Amino acid sequence: MAGYLLNRLWQSVVLLVIVSIIGFAVLNLTPGGPLSQFALTPGMTQEAMDRIAEQMGLNRPLPVQYLDWGWRLLQGDWGTSYRDGQPVLDVIGRHITATLLLMGTSTAFSIAIGTWIGIHGATRPYSIFDYSVTIGAMVALSIPTFWFGLVGIYIFTLELGWLPAGNMYTIGDGSFLNYLHHLIMPSLVLSLVNVAVWSRYMRTATLDVINQEFVKTARAKGLTERRVLMKHVVGNAMVPMITLAGMQLPSILGGALVTETVFTWPGMGRLFLDSLGYSDYPVVMGLLMVSAILVLLGSLIADLLVAIVDPRIRVG
């Protein structure tokens, strides 16, 4: 297990370095580059731009800039926001909790609802329920997330008045129930696509396990269908689903960006779009690194859980 863990950690570090190199190069090679925000200042001259570039070290070769940025990153200095002059880590820290809360809630919804639908469809294959959820999954995968968000706002906010249209809480009311009230709709909208994916994979995994010999043996021993399902089928079907949970993190982060924009949720996705609009490249780069770390960490945890549950996949 130690060898497997070290191997996965090494792979994660290499991937993180590759992501940082690509992200740094793309941001710095875009038209205008990091100085584009300063160019919008009234009365800005080329001489002043050159002076700013020299002060910020942007007139140096790109590899030298990257190495300097990476070294400061390892020391805990992620740079300073062009927009408000605050440290990048402080800016991201004010938004990461909202994103993690939204992602965690939507993931819980996806796993709970998708697992139930997948198992129910596998135990009743080709039934009306199975066909209905299959069609529903295809529809959910075919329609953009923002469309579900806008429809949800129209129905549950404008027509029924049940749920708020956006924000994380009502100003002046910081109660838990108020937070929960604002969380319901964005988390459900974000989880829709993941429920569709999870239910399809769970159905396939359950059908595969149901046809295994040890399940037939358990039935031959006289165990009830419910006991066979809970003790022998579900546990084995969940093994590949752990890996799927780690693989879905990038799509959840991408969906969070759209969902946070639609519902004005103050998370990292909304911050990312605002920072791009202001050409606040230090914050954009910091968000890229935090997102990459979250994805790699989620994938690593999922792989370790699978290695614990199923020793056959361990290496080293």
Take residue 168 and report the two structure tokens written for it. Answer: 């994380």
Nearest-angstrom CA–CA distance, 196 and 136: 8
Crossing angle of helices 281-309 and 268-277, rounded to 10°: 150
Q: How far apart are CA 83 and CA 37, in angstroms?
A: 9
Query: Do 145 and 255 touch, CB atoms closer than 8 A?
Result: yes
pLDDT tens per residue, range 301-310? 877 777 776 6
pLDDT in tens, 86-121: 999 999 999 999 998 998 898 888 888 988 998 888
Share of the chain above pLDDT 70, in %: 95
Q: What is the pLDDT of residues 238-289, one digit of tens each?
A: 777 777 777 777 777 777 888 888 998 999 988 998 888 888 889 999 999 9
How wide is the angle at C-alpha 105 spanned by C-alphas 134 and 96, nearest 5°? 130
Q: What is the CA radius of gyration of the chain?
A: 24
Confidence (pLDDT) at 32:
65
pLDDT at 285 (0 to 100): 92
Cα–Cα distance measured from residue 68 to residue 4, given in angstroms and rounded to the nearest whole number: 32
What backbone phi and psi angles, to 5 degrees, belong to 56?
Answer: -90, -5
Return d(Cα 167, Cα 261) in angstroms, integer: 10
* pLDDT of 313 above 60: no
| Identity of the residue numbered 241 | M
Q: Are 163 and 181 in contact (CB under 8 A)?
A: yes
Largest CA distance in the chain: 86
Per-residue tokens: 283: 């914050």
Residues 6+ apart with CB under 8 A from 167: 182, 263, 264, 265, 266
Of residues 252 and 12, which shows the higher confidence score? Answer: 12
Residues 137 and 221: beta-carbon distance below 8 Å: no
At residue 19's C-alpha, the angle toward residues 279 and 8, to 5°, is 150
Distance between CA 194 and CA 312 in Å, rounded? Answer: 28
C-beta separation of 283 from 289 below 8 A: no
Tokens of 68: 């300097």
What is the model's pTM? 0.81
Looking at residue 309, its pLDDT comes to 66
